[in-house]
Chains A and B, each alone.
Chain A
């Protein structure tokens, strides 16, 4: 017993180092799996408050650019509004014209990152604005990510520029769908995997969200095909998608709530509902 205590006292520096190092490693490994990192996230009172303050200052520097983006969007929406003859029978091809299944909340990005391989955003809306985990986040041009954690006033978003994010997406022309992932290299391109070889893939085709995950509605624009190749087994395409969104410059976003999600999950997992 005496020797054990002596050993601990002699090596206390090393043991403390080992303890702290393993704690931080476990945090790191936790953060690699979705929704697991419980306390190490920036959606808390202190960090959210500081980022809110910083963002209030920073927002002045991009006012002109954001105005341009808003004007562009208004322009696009107006052209759709005045050119549509029969609004009743229109299919839901545009990102903002869904039936009431989807509820939109606008938010402001307080913190954006795109240089690391696990990128997250911080929004100024939280659980008090009835935002919950697994809601989709889009900007005026396309998909941004999925809500990861929420606190009372803030929420973190798992960006599509995160190597652990997986979003279902499809070709706009046909219904062949695949998984949208990111390889961590360029913030302007993401990768669409598992598109079957039989699908008619062409450079320049549009990729949209598929609506299969019930997080995003069908038809939200993602990007265009930049280049593609067959994977190692030669059964599926690996497609490089050039994003419509400039992920390095995002300020105003919309959070999408699917109000039918409970019904859909109950229907898909009837056994769990007993």
Chain B
């Protein structure tokens, strides 16, 4: 199997796993709202980033996680389609250029928003002022986003060269 097909399959698997995760998280939110917030609070009491102690913190963090993971699902969806397009269609199309750019911008945006949201949640729910940009979690993902934007610019240049080549008689 070619590496590109492996990559496409990995994106597809990640995409469907993320959807399943999103549905489970949505189920948690519905369970917390309509049945028993105490059970969900117990499960998430020792969350990684900050401790969830109140119902408000639980609802807010679950709602935020749903929106955030929704954006990541959309990014994976774009990646999945982009890989399909790169494998089966001609290279350097406008769709591929736009997809690379959009994915890069979304990755940068959601990473910054994620870091800020943890800061806000800690400030509001724990009364702690703490802003951390860890190497892998923040800068590495930002670098990937920037690289994808750079890749879209390279594809744009390649599209111009390809067009010139095709229009050389």
Do they bind each other? no
